């Protein structure tokens, strides 16, 4: 069964606390997807919280160029 707690709107202190928790996890090297899972939010919502917390997001990992033919 789906967990609907991810759809609850965060405001005030709860939002600030969750954003700081997300920022701390991200600073430790967790991916946005991993942070989202740990704080119980969606990927997009977690990304917004990180940006609101002033976090500079890392670039995509791995080789993003196509292999030379």
Please report whether residue 23 resides in a domain: yes
Q: 65 lies in a domain? A: no
How many domains does one find in the chain? 1
- Of the pLDDT bands very low, low, confident and very high (cuts 50, 70, 90), residue 3 is low
Containing domain of residue 39, as a range? Answer: 11-52
20: number of Cβ within 10 Å: 12
Better-scored residue on pLDDT, 6 or 53:
53
Q: Could you write out the three-class secondary structure of 10-62?
A: CCHHHHHHHHHHHHHHHHCCCCHHHHHHHHCCCHHHHHHHHHHCCCCCCCCCC
CA 67 to chain centre: 30
Residue 2 predicted with pLDDT over 60: no
Would you say 45 and 37 are in contact if contact means Cβ atoms under 8 Å apart?
no
Give the global pTM. Answer: 0.78
- Residue 26 resides in a domain: yes
Q: Report the mean per-residue pLDDT for the chain.
A: 88
């Amino acid at each position: 069964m789906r967990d609907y707690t991810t759809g609850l709107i965060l405001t005030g202190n709860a939002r600030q606390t969750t954003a700081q928790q997300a920022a701390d996890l991200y600073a430790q090297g967790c991916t946005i997807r991993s942070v989202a899972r740990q704080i119980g939010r969606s990927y997009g919502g977690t990304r917004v919280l990180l940006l609101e917390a002033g976090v500079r997001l890392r670039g995509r990992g791995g080789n993003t160029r196509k292999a030379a033919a």
